[in-house]
Amino acid sequence: MNLVIDVGNSLVKLAVFEGNNLLVKKNIKLDFLLKHIDLLRKEYKYIGKVIISSVVKLKDKDMVYIKSFFCLVVLDKSTNLPFKNCYKTPETLGMDRVALVSASVQKYPYNNTLIIDAGTCITYDFVTNKNEYLGGAISPGIRMRYQSLNKLTAKLPLLETELPKDIIGNSTKNSIHSGVIFGVLKEIEGIIEVYVSKYKDLTVILTGGDANFLSKQLKSSIFANSNFLLEGLNFILQFNSNE
């Protein structure tokens, strides 16, 4: 069994895999990481390997504690990857994007694949049918767009995400919803169209916190998978364990 640990700025995603099967997933606060690792270790006694992807540096004593129980892989720039990385600045490539690309080459090997991660930012990552990662794009996510309209103007309010009923906003509130939501939807659909025109037999994956919301509105044929990043981290762990 494998334990996947994805550490964000304040929240941590924990996932236990048996092979490629996700057994359990938890979102916890960073302060309770070791406590929940101990709980999982007692419940799933056959966990032997752990991978950590972290945007914040864990305390040295926490790393020592984790290493005392498991064979540990820390995802960083030196980790062996299951694809050819053709990104011109690999040292700046986020580990979340690395994990998503890894998941795509496991589930859709040697296939032209576009991975769209709709979270704080919307990232687009493309892998060719030769297993080569070329790069993609980064744009503001839904919440970032709402927040920027509020923070960078004098009078526009901060709104919660809401699907507009019409593209024509008949009030300031409805105009903001139309601009943000339809803007994101048309951006995604437009980018997919460009990739489809360049690459045949394109597979499109939609993941991230806003994936479920967006997948219901998009006309394009896509596969929505909220666990894609965790699956990618698990595959990287398997890939490095088998070398």
Handedness of CA 184, 190, 193, 195 (dihedral sign): negative
Q: What share of the chain is helix, strand, coil (3-state, %, to 5)?
A: 40, 25, 35
Length of the chain, in residues: 243
Q: Output the six-digit token pair for 210.
A: 């806003």
Catalytic residue among 38, 60, 96, 117: 96
135 conformational bin, left if phi > 0, alpha if psi -120 to 50, beta if neither: left
Q: What is the Cα–Cα distance from 145 to 155, expressed in whole angstroms? A: 15
Residue 39 contacts by C-beta under 8 Å, 6 or more apart in sequence?
Answer: none
Establish whether 96 is a catalytic residue.
Answer: yes
- Say how far apart CA 28 and CA 120 lie, in whole Å: 18
Residues recognised as catalytic: 96
